[in-house]
Amino acid sequence: MKPVNQKAWLLILPVVLCVAFSAILPLMTVVNYSVQDIISPERRVFVGTEWFKAVMRDDDLIGALGRQIVFSLAVLAVEIPLGIALALAMPAKGWKSSAVLVLVAISLLIPWNVVGTIWQIYGRTDIGLMGATLSRLGIDYSYTGNATHAWLTVLLMDVWHWTPLVALLCYAGLRAIPDAYYQAASIDGASKFAVFRYIQLPKLRGVLMIAVLLRFMDSFMIYTEPFVLTGGGPGNATTFLSQYLTQKAVGQFDLGPAAAFSLIYFLIILLLCFILYNWMQRVGTADKEPGHG
Amino acid sequence: MARIELDLAHAYRPNPQRDEDYALLPLKMSFEDGGAYALLGPSGCGKTTLLNIVSGLVTPSQGGLSFDGRDVTPLSPQQRNIAQVFQFPVIYDTMTVAENLAFPLRNRGVPADRIKQRVGQVAEMLDMSGQLGMRAAGLAADAKQKISLGRGLVREDVSAVLFDEPLTVIDPHLKWQLRRKLKQIHHELKLTLIYVTHDQVEALTFAQQVVVMTRGRAVQIGTASELFERPSHTFVGNFIGSPGMNFLAARGAAEGIEVAGRMLAMPKATLSSLGAFTLGVRPEYVRIAPPSEAGAVPGVVTQAQDIGTYWLVTARVGSGASESLLRARLSPEQSIPQVGETVWLSVVGEHTCYYVNEELIA
């Protein structure tokens, strides 16, 4: 048998303590809330899985979850290809590349609530550049009145805000591809598309995985921008999960259902990230049957 | 396939003034159709630049080049129809071995059954038939480099195949095998091959003609024996051979030549009017001579090393300003002098070369 060095426990103790206070204890508090009915600070009743059952039957919540999934998928479908395209179009060296990098990064530096405010003004039909232009073109645009418009505006805002992150990640990934690959492709007579398909895209796998996971998690938890822009309306067209959760927990002070829902929310994100990660690890890497060369 | 003619120079920076500004000094040479060439030289001598100019990855800043008399200077690698293999393996990660090998053909719209046939042949040549269906990214470095080699050889109609130190990452025993394979392929397909290397053994065994380069200059183009017997530049004498050529300072006079403080009989009439020059003799041609033999100089042995198949004896000859070291390769059958012993070493003979300003004159 190998000798066991118990000193290792001592070395990971600081990390364990940090994680305990920053993640495990708060999470356990939520678990604690999710199985109790807190009537007043002194009176609480254990209710088992009742809150979980109630939350699962909540039509508003299922509606918010559906909207959330559609929104996150739309975010990925737009931001990832657009970010790649931007990165490919950005100059690779010289002062131009520095200038473009700074320009692209600007939207990432703006506080989230300010982003909401910017778009609130941008979309106004009287003074906003986009709103006024659209109404001049004869489109009856209103992000406060029309559910589709509101939804599209939130999506557009997220694209404006976060596509640069994808672009910067891809830009870094592209710069890391050795010149020899482009030279070999040129010798092999590869078209521009073939270079993208067989060199750039496969070499971007790592950064794209990070970009997809980041954008998925962030968009799945989106709160501030739609809160500022539309307040979740009109109706509940732009009420996403975190907003619904806040309404429940802070607005109505239903701590039990809110806690139960938080846990489900957490598990959904974990599960979807797990699926996405595994899918992206595998796609395009499987051995193929011989004879299809 | 094509005869490649070069008349060019290249500098990576604009407005080159001095020789050091050039990656490739003005150069005029040609590669014959179907020849096997090696570009040999130390790192940074411009051999890869020359190769990239031939393939079209680099456009020369002055002059140009032609394939079979057709000017190709502004053309891309695709238009020149060149194949090139790089120092480190380049493979397409998402493709199988077969798809990697087929890629250059597929890009050119070769029919599928023809592609399949060629890929099969190339895989056979490289002993990769069993790996065709495997994903290329998962293979070891040498297998990946074999794929790169295969992609260079898969097209039959190329003007030339260029190799940029392709065996750097390959195991020694496989290196030898692949080199022989390349030679065999050259023999079968009669392709023009240009092979860049800093390894003289690789260059001399692979190529019919070796271009020796240093500091942006092609100093000699010749066969292995020409480079060995008559190095046209002291750099070649030094670079080719192991160890390199011995160089001794010498001076011509009316009665003979003075080497290492000793007056030797005049070996060639042209040397008498020269004044100072350099005498070059390969360690292989330095013999232990009887004392006072014509063409021999005395030396004190400073080192005698057993290199396995031969002995390398180093002796100090001359004194004062003319003192220098002379190395001799001696066969182990003869008696090897001890360190500290004084021996006579022949330096002037039919294999001796004479240099002025590093250039061969006789």
CATH (domain of B97): 3.40.50.300
If 0-12 CB within 10 Å is exposed, 13-18 middle and 19+ buried, where does residue A286 land?
exposed
Q: Look-up: residue for tokens 């003799």?
A: B281
CB B207 within 8 A of CB B291: no
Lowest mean pLDDT: which of A5-9, A158-162, A173-177, B117-121? A5-9
Q: According to the model, what pLDDT value does residue A185 have?
A: 92
pLDDT, tens only, B331-360 = 888 888 888 888 899 888 888 898 888 888
Structural domain spans, chain A: 44-279
Contact B99, B49 (CB under 8 A): no
Tens digit of each residue's pLDDT (9 = 90 or more) over B155-181:
888 888 999 988 887 888 888 888 888
Distance between A86 CA and the closest CA of chain B, angstroms? 23
pLDDT tens digits for range A54-78: 888 888 888 888 889 999 999 999 9
The whole-number average pLDDT for the span B223-236 is 91
Look at residue A289 in the predicted model and tell me its pLDDT: 44
Q: Are residues B261 and B124 in the same domain?
A: no
Average pLDDT for B28-39: 89
- pLDDT computed for residue B1 by the predictor: 60
- Only one residue has tokens 């079979």, namely B68
Q: Are residues B125 and B225 in the same domain?
A: yes
pLDDT at B114 over 60: yes
In contact, B42 and B214? CB cutoff 8 Å: yes
- The domain in which residue B325 lies consists of 242-360
Chain A residue whose CA is closest to B136: A287
Gap from A200 CA to chain B (nearest CA, Å) = 10
Per residue in A102-154, pLDDT (tens digit) is 999 999 999 888 988 899 888 888 888 888 888 888 888 888 888 888 888 99
By C-alpha distance, the chain A residue nearest B78 is: A189
Quick: pLDDT tens for A4-44.
778 888 899 999 999 999 988 988 888 888 888 877 778 88
Task: Specify whether B55 is located in the same domain as B169.
Answer: yes
Q: Measured between CA atoms, how close is A186 to chain B, in angstroms?
A: 7
Most confident stretch, A74-78, A222-226, B15-19, B83-87: A74-78
User: Rounded to an integer, what distance in angstroms lies between the CA atom of residue B103 and that of residue B98?
Assistant: 9
End-of-domain residue from the set B178, B211, B235: B235
* Cβ distance of A188 and B107 shorter than 8 Å: yes
Residues of A with Cβ-Cβ distance to B108 under 8 angstroms: 189
Q: How many helices (H) and strands (E) does chain A have?
A: 15, 2
A44-279 to CATH, choices 3.60.9.10, 3.40.1050.10, 1.10.3720.10, 3.40.50.800: 1.10.3720.10
CA separation, residue A9 to residues A4, A5, A22, A23 (Å): 11, 9, 19, 19
Q: What pLDDT is stored for residue B159 in this prediction?
A: 85
Given B77, B96, B151, which is nearest A288 (Cβ)?
Answer: B96
Residues whose CB falls within 8 Å of the CB of residue A10, separated by 6 or more in sequence, listed in order: none
Contacts of A289 (CB under 8 A, 6+ apart): B133
Q: For residue B93, give the chain A residue with the closest CA.
A: A202
Best of B87, B91, B96, B129 to mutate (most A CBs within 10 Å, chain A): B96
pLDDT at residue A290, rounded to an integer: 42
Please check whether residue B108 touches A, CB under 8 A: yes
For A255-291, write each residue's pLDDT tens digit. 888 888 888 888 988 998 898 888 888 776 655 444 4
How near does any CA of chain A get to the CA of B217, in Å?
Answer: 25
Is A293 in contact with B116 (Cβ distance < 8 A)? yes
pLDDT at A286: 53
Of B176-185, B214-223, B231-240, where does mean pLDDT reach its minimum? Answer: B176-185
Helix (H, G, I), strand (E, B) or coil at A10: helix
Q: A14: buried, middle or exposed (CB in 10 Å: 19+, 13-18, 0-12)?
A: exposed
**Residue B62 contacts A where some CB pair is shorter than 8 Å:** no
Q: Which residue of B has its CA nearest to A282?
A: B94
At which of B178, B213, B235 does a domain end?
A: B235
- In this prediction, residues B208-222 reach a mean pLDDT of 89
Q: For the segment B123-145, what is each residue's pLDDT rounded down to a tens digit?
A: 988 888 888 888 888 888 888 98
Q: How confident is the model at residue B37 (pLDDT cuts 50, 70, 90)?
A: very high
8 Å CB contact of A189 and B101: no
- CATH of residue B297's domain is 2.40.50.140
| A287 neighbourhood in chain B, CB within 8 Å | 96, 133-135, 138
Indicate whether B226 and B306 sit together in one domain.
Answer: no
Nearest to A183 among B57, B92, B107 (CB): B57
B117 and B229 assigned to the same domain: yes
Cβ–Cβ gap B92/A203 under 8 Å? no
Preferred mutation among A179, A188, A280 to probe B, highest tally of B CBs within 10 A: A188
Q: Which residues of A touch B168 (CB under 8 A)?
A: none
Exposed, middle or buried by CB within 10 Å (0-12, 13-18, 19+), for A270? exposed
How confident is the model over B189-216, as a mean pLDDT?
88
Q: Count up the domains in chain B and report the number.
A: 2
B26, B47: one domain: yes
Cβ <8 Å between A293 and B119:
yes
pLDDT digit string, tens, across residues B249-297? 888 887 788 888 788 887 777 777 778 888 899 999 998 888 878 888 8
Confidence of residue B93 (pLDDT cuts 50, 70, 90): confident
Question: Do B156 and B295 share a domain, yes or no?
Answer: no
Closest residue in A to B79 (Cα–Cα): A189
Q: Mind listing the pLDDT tens digit for each residue in A172-199?
A: 999 999 988 999 999 898 899 999 999 9
Give the mean pLDDT of chain A. Answer: 86
A187/B77 touch (CB, cutoff 8 Å), yes or no: yes
Nearest-Cα residue of chain A relative to residue B129:
A290
B185 and B252 co-located in one domain: no
Do the Cβ atoms of A290 and B107 come within 8 Å?
Answer: no
pLDDT band at A292 (very low <50, low <70, confident <90, very high): very low
Which region holds residue A161: left if phi is over 0, alpha if psi is between -120 and 50, else beta?
Answer: alpha
Q: Token pair for residue A208?
A: 């794209």
Euclidean distance between CA atoms B276 and B253, whole angstroms: 9
| Whether residues B185 and B295 fall in one domain | no
B207 pLDDT higher than 60: yes
Residue with tokens 């009915």: A37
Nearest C-alpha of chain B: how many angstroms from A9? 37
In chain B, % of residues over pLDDT 90: 21
> Which of B87, B93, B159 would best serve as a mutation to test chain A binding (most A beta carbons within 10 A)?
B93
Q: In what order do the strands lie in the sheet with B257-259?
A: B262-264, B257-259, B246-252, B276-281, B353-356, B359-360
B249/B299 same-domain check: yes
Residue in B98, B103, B116 nearest the CB of A188 = B103
Instruction: Please check whether residues B143 and B203 belong to one and the same domain.
Output: yes
To test the contact with chain B by mutation, choose from A179, A183, A187 the residue with the greatest count of B C-beta atoms within 10 A, namely: A187
Same-domain check for residues B259 and B329: yes
